[in-house]
A and B are shown apart, each in its own frame.
Chain A
Amino acid sequence: MTAPRPLSLHVPEPGCRPGDTPDFSDFEIPRAGAVRRPEVSEAPEDMRDMAFSVVRVLNKAGEAVGPWAGLLDADALRTGLRHMLTLRQFDERMLKAQRQGKTSFYMQHLGEEAVSCAFRMALEDGDMNFPTYRQAGLLIAGGYPMTEMMNQIYSNAADPLHGRQMPVMYSARDHGFFTISGNLGTQFIQAVGWAMASAISNDTKIAAAWIGDGSTSENDFHAAMVFASTYKAPVILNIVNNQWAISTFQGMARGGAVTFAARGHGFGIPAIRVDGNDYLAVHAVASWAAERARSGLGPTLIEHVTYRAGGHSTSDDPSAYRSKDEFSAWPLGEPIARLKAHLITIGEWSEERHTQAMAEINDEVRACQKKAEANGTLITGPHPSPRSMFDDVYAEMPPHLQRQRQEAGF
């Protein structure tokens, strides 16, 4: 018998680092319209194929094709385009505001606008999202005032969260948007609990859980899967696979071993991969999952395949860890350009209308920013009174906090 060779540890590396040429040839992408649309009542074990393909509706010619097409009329599509354009302009303005020192931090959605904007349109009022920090499209598409978002980002005197949270950690209960945590993954199981509560209460509302590819490694992901499956909770479990978790590529969460969607199979949860840069596909798959949840058929796992075109946040420079050319090589394109092309193809949009819409949105976002800045910015103030930081720790302030507030001089 030969002596065993010394072992060595396998540490995965992405295929492409700065200076390398991006190569997505391993990523098998079906033609738009090629993936079937199962009945929502189909047995989970009969639709495992859905976790290994990618639902796509928009083809290269800008047409909506296949069994997932046809849900949205031209008005709805124009609204969707407007939501995505608004989110992008909102991001641009807030990034600039951060660079100007008006706030401490910002996180943009560049390249991922379709995921949250389209998803929101598949939900009903009263449903509850448990988002991560990169789903502000849920708020914009849900009609939440941008000025309020900016007030939060600036931690100004009108910040609905009284300056307690970092920028973009919004909370908007009335808009179906759960308070965002900076601890990754915690919300995934909470969404399942909320959905269980809806079922326990014989309500008709459903929940949507959100997590990134990197955070699927967290324990809370596993907890959510086992609870959602065990109790058939009316919840949509969304994994936004945007390829990168700060500098950590999705292979570190074993994205290369099987698809993220396929993780549903171990729990008997139907799982679908969708082209996250295809507004129509995201909306169609979300509607399908919402129908399943609302019909009492239980959870659906959706993997939104997309690409984080910007940095993780304003605190990192992606050119330090990945190729600058990766986004241009990304095979699923860019969601706004694709929806715009589709609307033009079907004769419901034009370059002129697009230019006009951009100008209108620019005016709207600018006006919101002006209004928000009238309430102050992080650097200039005014801020909510420091006295208020002692509020809401408990419903009723206990004696020790009263003493501390007094000691602090309030």
Chain B
Amino acid sequence: MTMIEAIRNAHDLAMDRDKRVVVFGEDVGYFGGVFRCTAGLQKKYGSNRCFDAPINEGGIVGAGIGMAAYGLKPVVEIQFADYMYPAYDQIVSEAARLRHRSAGQFTCSMVIRMPTGGGIFGGQTHSQSPEALFTHVSGLKVVVPSNPRDAKGLLLAAIEDPDPVIFLEPKRLYNGPFDGHHDRPVVPWKKHDLGDVSEDYYTVPLGKAKIRREGKALTVLAYGTMVYVAQAAAEEAGIDAEIIDLRTLIPLDLETIETSVKKTGRCVIIHEATRTSGFGAELSALVQETCFYHLEAPIVRVTGWDTPYPHAQEWTYFPGPERIKRAFAQVLEG
């Protein structure tokens, strides 16, 4: 399966299993979503359970909160993560806090899906990675899958979860494990192990990272698209890197991170989002707090630059394999 098919399959299984699951968003119903993640659901489950929404992200999330308070399980799509900002108040002040402020009288079991990341000539309004805007908010869970098998299992776990989950789908990974070499053809998921996805219902638990590549020389902390870019960099440079795919940013699997960094003594943190106050800053602080006496070199971050995501120059912005290889060299020198 592609990641799109895996996400669609997860929706299908969740809707089949639980009548409370409703799916809506812009172009989500009849058309099946601009990325086709909800194709066929309206036909199969009817327009009361999968439908189009007005173009109003605050309305989509706000209505979803009301539905969740009623007892349904809304799974809503924000067409691009970049369109999320009008919904930010509803996400931060409302969805994230209902349980706490009502002492559990009202809860918000809702999944807010949004395609994230660049590399598709999307310019500054179709390329952003706003995960740190969510990880900073108490009450939210934040998930970023890197492959079809995880995407399906994590989405099903997110739908089962009793709290609001922000589900960020790296759109550059929808059709294959993009490794950052934009000038080469992308390997399709059907040629990759993790594209082999069972049709059965299964979950991948939130809060558990996955070591994608074992190694002793250094630890890479990455998620989403950057997992494959880091793998390519390690293989091309012949470096024995241990690559951790975080999968869930909140809750974070600190144990796996700590064990690995204590073993390697070196840490490179990679994300596509802008650097300052990005999630990498939190990761860096945590590694420093928990592994300081094991570190052999300063932690290095490889990230998008602190600029808007450019259109024509997107590969200069994107933290590609060459920049990552330089970071590997830097952290190994120290």
Residue numbers of A with Cβ under 8 A of B are 128, 130, 160-162, 164-165, 169, 171-173, 178-179, 181, 183, 186, 188-201, 207, 219-220, 222-224, 226-227, 230, 392-395, 398-400
Contact = CB atoms under 8 A, between A and B. Distances in A.
B207 A165 contact: no
Contacts of A224: 59, 62
Interface string B92-110: 0110001111111111000
A195 B66 CA distance: 8
Interface in B88-135: 89-90, 93-94, 98-107
B71 A200 contact: no
Contacts of B100: 164, 392-393
B66 A196 contact: yes
B24 to A, nearest CB: 9
Contacts of A223: 54, 56, 58-59, 62-63
The 3 closest A-B pairs by CB, nearest first: A193-B66, A223-B59, A193-B63
B222 interface: no
B65 A171 contact: no
B104 to A, nearest CB: 5
Interface stretch (B36-44, B232-240, B248-256, B305-313): B248-256
A394 B248 CA distance: 15
Interface in B19-77: 22, 48-49, 53-54, 56, 58-59, 62-67, 69-72, 74
Given A164-B101, A227-B56, A394 B163 contact: yes
Given A197-B70, A393-B139, A399-B254, A189 B104 contact: no
Nearest to A195: B66
B279 to A, nearest CB: 13
A234 to B, nearest CB: 12
A230 B163 CA distance: 28
A188 B72 CA distance: 18
B58 A173 contact: no
B56 A171 contact: no
B66 A130 contact: yes
21 contacts: A164-B100, A179-B98, A183-B89, A186-B93, A189-B59, A189-B62, A189-B63, A192-B62, A192-B66, A193-B74, A194-B69, A200-B49, A201-B72, A219-B58, A219-B86, A223-B58, A223-B63, A224-B59, A392-B99, A392-B104, A395-B99
B298 interface: no
B207 A398 contact: yes
Given A196-B63, A198-B70, A190 B94 contact: yes
Contact of B102 (A179, A198, A199, A227): A179
Q: Which of B66, B100, B163 lies at the interface centre, i.e. has the most chain A CB atoms within 10 A of its CB? A: B66
Interface in B267-313: none
A393 to B, nearest CB: 5
A181 B95 CA distance: 11
A161 B104 CA distance: 9
Contact of B103 (A164, A198, A219): A164
A395 B93 contact: no
Classify chain B: how many residues form its interface, as a range.
35 or more
B66 A201 contact: no
A194 B66 contact: yes
Given A171-B103, A392-B104, A393-B139, A197 B72 contact: yes
B162 interface: yes
A162 B162 contact: no
Given A190-B65, A207-B66, A227 B93 contact: no
B259 interface: no
A137 to B, nearest CB: 20
A179 B105 CA distance: 8
Contacts of A392: 99-100, 103-104
Contacts of A198: 70
B103 A160 contact: yes
B94 A400 contact: no
B330 interface: no
Given A200-B48, A226-B56, A399-B254, A173 B106 contact: yes
Given A200-B72, A223-B59, A400 B251 contact: yes
Contacts of A196: 63, 66-67
Interface of A is mostly: helix
Given A186-B93, A220-B62, A227-B56, 5 more contacts: A186-B62, A189-B66, A193-B62, A197-B70, A227-B63
B150 to A, nearest CB: 19
A227 to B, nearest CB: 5
Contacts of A230: 54
Contacts of B141: 394
Nearest to A389: B100
A394 B63 contact: no
Contacts of B254: 399-400
Nearest to B19: A201
A395 B49 CA distance: 26
A5 B49 CA distance: 57
Nearest to B90: A186
Q: Which of A162, A183, A394, A399 lies at the interface centre, i.e. has the most chain B CB atoms within 10 A of its CB? A: A394
Interface string B148-180: 000000000000001100000000000000000
B198 interface: no
Contact of B58 (A162, A189, A394): A189
Contacts of B71: 197, 201
B251 A171 contact: no
B316 interface: no
A193 B67 contact: yes
Contacts of A165: 101
Q: Which of B72, B89, B100, B106 lies at the interface centre, i.e. has the most chain A CB atoms within 10 A of its CB? A: B100
B105 A173 contact: yes
Given A186-B93, A227-B59, A395 B67 contact: no
Nearest to B24: A196
Contact of A201 (B70, B90, B107, B162): B70
A198 B69 CA distance: 11
B73 to A, nearest CB: 10
Contacts of B103: 160-162, 164, 171, 392
Given A172-B105, A186-B93, A393-B100, A398 B251 contact: yes
A293 to B, nearest CB: 15
A196 B321 CA distance: 48
B134 to A, nearest CB: 14
